[in-house]
Structure 1
Amino acid sequence: MGTLARALETFFTMHGLAMVTDQAERLAAGRRRRRIDAVPQDLRPPVQAIADFMMHSRERARRAGTRPRSDATVEAALAIVRDLARFLAGHRGKHDWALTDVHDIEAYLTNQPKARKRRLVVLGQFFRFARSRKIVLVDPARGLTSRGPSGFTGATLTLDQQRALFRRWTTAPDIHPHEALLGVLALLHGVSSREVKMLQTGDLDLRARTARLGDRPHPVPLDPASWSVVERCLAHRGAQRTNNPHVMVTRQTKSGRGPASTAYVSHVLDDCGFPPRMIRCTRLLDLVNTMDPKLVAAAFGMGPEATMIYLADHIDETRLSQWETPRT
């Protein structure tokens, strides 16, 4: 579906003149089909079976009013099972799921150690399903643990890197407004890519210079540097003459009312050389270790457990002077 077709669909559905098309469903079905077709022929039927099972489970969840699996969740699960099937056929010489053992699973998990937890969850679901259908006699993933550290282990920015990025986004005239918006808000306010993507003009208070971001319970006051990049982004949006309510508007979304795509937002900061998650984690790590993690969780609309992983395992020595035992 092209830009004109999306614009016409948005117009007619908003005015009740037509029903929403099944474009998104057909695209998701195509993505699922490509993942299943990439599985070796001998190992493909069980993967097709679990894909059908997940889709039927999603329909039941919708009818029951519970939270169904999203297309992204189903596609990610199929991709993990597809990669395991290709690993078994290409590196282990096995073309039957019943021949899979725990050593095969361990060898597959070592390829991407950071994704071990997620892969184990999906593989556990797959092999439980396969065992219930008599495809395998023993669950090879049973008993495996992630054995990963529970704390934060990602990379963060140094102070010099943060200063360089701040100067880039606040002083360089040739930086795209979308890069400056996402970069500055992530660097100073710990904003996620989704919060920037979903930010609308109605969430901005031009007089108080605040913004409602994601699930945060209160409007976030914006400093002069942050407000300056917001104004630049609003000027860029105004030049496109769009009715899209979002602050970040692209050429693909200016004719509709939807947010920018996840793929677009994930590549906005490519020119600066650092991913949005790394910049956001740097800010969260600093806030949690200088403030009360519970206060940070409340301000960001997060659960207390979500901020505890950023708590470093050290004590600031300057805060222990009052507890120092006097010498006698």
Structure 2
Amino acid sequence: MGTFARVLEDFFTHRGMALPTDQAERLAAGRRKRRIDAVPGPLRPAVVAFDASRMRAQDRARRAGTRPRSNHTLETALSILRDLAGFLTKHRGKDDWALVDVHDIEAFLATSPKARKRRLVVLRQFFRFARSQHIVLIDPTRTLIVKERSSFRGRTLTLDQQRELFRRWTTDDQVHRHEALLGILALLHGASSTEVRTLKITDIDAAAQTVRLGKRPHPVPLDPASWTVLERCLDHRAKWPTANPHVMVTKGTKAGRSPASTAYVSHVLDDCGNPPRMIRSTRLVDLVNTMDPKLVAAAFGMDPQATLIYLADHIDSGRLSDQHQ
């Protein structure tokens, strides 16, 4: 579907004159098919059957009104199985799932230690399915453990880096308005890329100078610097002849009503040299270690356990009382 067709779809569906097309589902089906086709022939039928069972489960969840697996989750699982199948064929000389043992799985997980947890979850699901279908007799993942600490191991910004970015986004007129908006909201308010790209005009309260971000239970008050950056972004948006309800509008979305793509937002901060996750993590680490993690979780609409990983395992010497006094 081209741009013009998407614009027409948005126009008619928004006014209740037509039903949405299945364009997104067709694209997702194409992405799944490409991943399955990349699996070596002898190992492919089991992956096809696994994908079919997951699609049936997704359909049942939709009809039952529960939370179905997203297309991204299903595609990620197929990518992991594709990589495993290629690894078994090229490096272990095996072309039958029944021949896979725990040593093969360990060797595959060792190729990407950082992805061990995510990969192992998918492999456990697949081999449980394969055992139920009598494709394998023994689940090779049954005795494996994640071997991963539940703690924050990401990177954060130093105070000097934070000050430099703050000045960049509040004083440099050459910086793109979208970069400044995403950066300042992440740096000062811990906003995620999804919260910023889905921010709508109706989420802004100009009188109170607050915005509603994602699933946060309460509006977020903006400081003068953040509000100025938001106003500049709105001025930039006003130059586009668009009916898109979102604050962040791009060339690809100005004619429709969808938010900016994930791919676009992931590169908005390329010029400043710091990814959105690092900037957001810096704010969360600071808040969690200076406040009650439960209060942070409540304010951000997060699970209480999710904030605990940001607790530091050491205490700054400057926060310790002088024992010699």
Name the TM-score class by shorter chain: over 0.9
**CA positional deviation for 1:305:** 0.8
5 Å-filtered alignment, 1:42-191, equals: 42-191=42-191
**1:114-152 residue CA offsets vs partner (Å, 9 max, x unmatched):** 211111110000001111111111111111111111110
**1:19-39 residue CA offsets vs partner (Å, 9 max, x unmatched):** 211111110000000000011
- What percent identity do the matched residue pairs reach? 71
Give the aligned partner of residue 266 of structure 2. Answer: 266
Query: Partners of 1:51 and 1:114 in 2: how far apart?
Result: 25
Query: Partners of 2:274 and 2:112 in 1: how far apart?
Result: 20
**CA positional deviation for 1:189:** 0.7
Query: Partners of 2:266 and 2:175 in 1: how far apart?
Result: 17
Give the letter aligned to residue 12 of structure 1: F
User: Where in structure 1 are there 5+ consecutive unaligned residues?
Assistant: none
Query: Partners of 2:57 and 2:152 in 1: how far apart?
Result: 34
Q: Following TM superposition, where does structure 1 have runs of at least 4 consecutive aligned residues deviating by more than 2 angstroms?
A: 314-322
Partner SS state of residue 321, structure 1 = coil
**CA positional deviation for 1:320:** 5.1
For normalisation by structure 1, the TM-score amounts to 0.95
Change beyond 3 A, Cα 1:319–1:173: closer
Query: Partners of 1:279 and 1:43 in 2: how far apart?
Result: 42
Give the aligned partner of residue 2 of structure 1. Answer: 2
Give the letter aligned to residue 69 of structure 1: R
**263-272 vs 69-78, which deviates more?**
263-272
Give the aligned partner of residue 304 of structure 2. Answer: 304
Give the aligned partner of residue 277 of structure 1. Answer: 277
Give the aligned partner of residue 228 of structure 2. Answer: 228
**CA positional deviation for 1:84:** 0.6
**CA positional deviation for 1:321:** 3.4
**CA positional deviation for 1:318:** 5.4
Query: Partners of 1:321 and 1:180 in 2: how far apart?
Result: 39
Give the letter aligned to residue 309 of structure 1: I
Query: Partners of 1:317 and 1:270 in 2: how far apart?
Result: 34
**CA positional deviation for 1:63:** 2.0
**CA positional deviation for 1:315:** 3.4
Partner SS state of residue 313, structure 2 = coil
Give the aligned partner of residue 21 of structure 1. Answer: 21
Give the letter aligned to residue 283 of structure 2: R
User: Where in structure 2 are there 5+ consecutive unaligned residues?
Assistant: none
**CA positional deviation for 1:17:** 2.1
Query: Partners of 1:161 and 1:68 in 2: how far apart?
Result: 41
**20-29 vs 212-221, which deviates more?**
212-221
Determine if the alignment matches structure 1 residue 246 to structure 2 residue 246: yes
Q: RMSD of aligned C-alpha atoms?
A: 1.6
**1:169-199 residue CA offsets vs partner (Å, 9 max, x unmatched):** 1222221111111011101110001100111
Give the letter aligned to residue 43 of structure 2: L
Query: Partners of 1:65 and 1:155 in 2: how far apart?
Result: 38
Query: Partners of 2:206 and 2:184 in 1: how far apart?
Result: 18
Partner SS state of residue 148, structure 2 = coil
**CA positional deviation for 1:248:** 0.5
The number of residues matched between the two structures is 325
Query: Partners of 2:243 and 2:237 in 1: how far apart?
Result: 10
**CA positional deviation for 1:3:** 1.8
